Amino acid sequence: AAQLDTGQTISASLARRMACEAGIIPAVLGGKSEVLDLGRSRRFHSRAQRIAKLLTAGGCQVDGCDAPPGLTHLHHKIEWSLGGRTDLDNTIMICGPHHARAHDPTYQLTPIPGDKFTFHRRT
């Protein structure tokens, strides 16, 4: 069940239909109700998402880079401005210099095995 701001209780199915029609994106919560998936409702990652990514990535995910988590940013694999979601599946942990290169149109960021990434010069 769900509740409207008027206090009226409605069924879960009606709440889902209303949210869909209104373009509302549900948030996926982790432990302690921390938001891990913000869909397109928010551009910047939350503190909880950063912690979750830190636990899985441990630092810059560019192959050969050993930048620690404290020197990294969270980067959308598919840019938010191009429809990318602010969720962990569309996020990589990347250091400042590599983040700048990720936005350089002369380079392409490519995934490789082991949850790592590499850059290739576009031709």
Q: How many CB atoms lie within 10 A of CB 50?
A: 16
- The secondary structure of residue 61, as a DSSP letter, is -
Give the C-alpha distances (Å, rounded to integers) separating 66 from 36, 38, 119, 120: 25, 28, 16, 19
- Is 0.85 topped by the overall pTM? no
| Residue 119 main-chain phi, psi, to 5 deg | -110, 145
3-state secondary structure of 113: coil
| Residue 71 main-chain phi, psi, to 5 deg | -110, 20
Smallest CA-to-CA distance from 88 within 41, 31, 46, 26 is with: 46
Q: What is the pLDDT along the chain (123 residues), one digit of tens a residue?
A: 677 767 788 887 777 677 666 665 555 556 666 655 555 566 788 888 888 888 889 899 999 999 998 899 999 998 887 888 888 889 999 999 999 999 899 999 999 999 999 999 998
